[in-house]
Amino acid sequence: MISVRFLGTAGARFMVAKQIRASGGHWYTFSGDAGTTQIHVDPGPGALVRATSAVPPCDPVELDAIALSHKHLDHSGDVNVMIEAMTVGGFRPRGALLAPLDAYEGEAVIFPYAARFVPVRHVLEEKAGPYIINDVEIRTSINLVADVNGAVSESAESVVRSAHDVARRSEELRENVSTVLAELLAVS
C-alpha cells in the first residue's frame, strides 16, 4: 500500500511568502511485506509544523529519507529542520538524503553539519537511478525550471513513479465519488 500526505502544495515565491497555500511538501509511506518506508519529498517552509500537526501526525523520527527535487526555497526551506528532526538533533544518525549536486555544494541549501547526520547521501542526476531506499526505487527525470532571470534551465527532479500513479488514481477515485454523491443528492 502507498499513501501520500500533502503537507503543502504551494508553488512560486508569492505563494510561499504569503503562505496562501502551505509549502510543506509530500510525505510518502510505502507499506509492504518488507516493512514500511517513509520519504519526505520537498520539505518547504513549515514542513515540520505541518508534519507534526497533521492528523494523524507524521513522525520525522520514522523517516527513512528526505528528497529534494531542486533547491528553490518552496521545495527546500525546511530541509535542515527535517534532517535534525529525523536524526533527533544528530544524536541518532540515520536515513538517506537525495538531492541534486547544487543542493550540497556552492550556495548549498543542505548545511554541511546537518548532512553529516545522514549516513547515506545520493546526488540526483538527470535520467538516473534507481536510488534504493529500503524496498523503494526512486528514479529521476528531467524537469524544465525557469530561473530568476526568466531563462529556462534543466534540473533533475525526483520521481517516485508508483506514488505518482497512486496520486493520479486517488484523484480519479475522488472525482468518481463526487459524481456518485452528486447523483445521489439529485435523486433524494
pLDDT for 31-52, tens place per residue? Answer: 988 899 999 999 999 999 999 9
pLDDT for 94-129, tens place per residue? Answer: 999 999 999 999 999 999 999 999 999 999 988 888
All structural domains of the chain: 2-159 (3.60.15.10)
Q: In the structure grid, which three cell numbers stand for residue 175, read together?
A: 472525482
60 burial type by CB count under 10 A (0-12 exposed, 13-18 middle, 19+ buried): buried
Q: In the structure grid, which three cell numbers stand for residue 45, read together?
A: 517552509
Contact call for residues 1 and 31 (beta carbons, < 8 A)? yes
Whole-model pTM: value is 0.75
pLDDT surpassing 50 at residue 162: no
| Lowest-pLDDT range of 30-34, 89-93, 97-101, 175-179 | 175-179
Could you give the strand order of the β-sheet that contains 65-67, starting from the edge strand earlier in sequence?
Answer: 2-8, 23-32, 35-41, 65-67, 96-100, 120-124
pLDDT at 156: 37
Q: Which residue has the higher pLDDT, 181 or 97?
A: 97
pLDDT for 6-18, tens place per residue? Answer: 998 776 777 777 7
pLDDT at 151: 38
Output the average pLDDT for the chain.
81
State which amino acid sits at residue 21. Answer: R
pLDDT at 52: 95
Of 63-72, 144-153, 165-174, highest mean pLDDT: 63-72
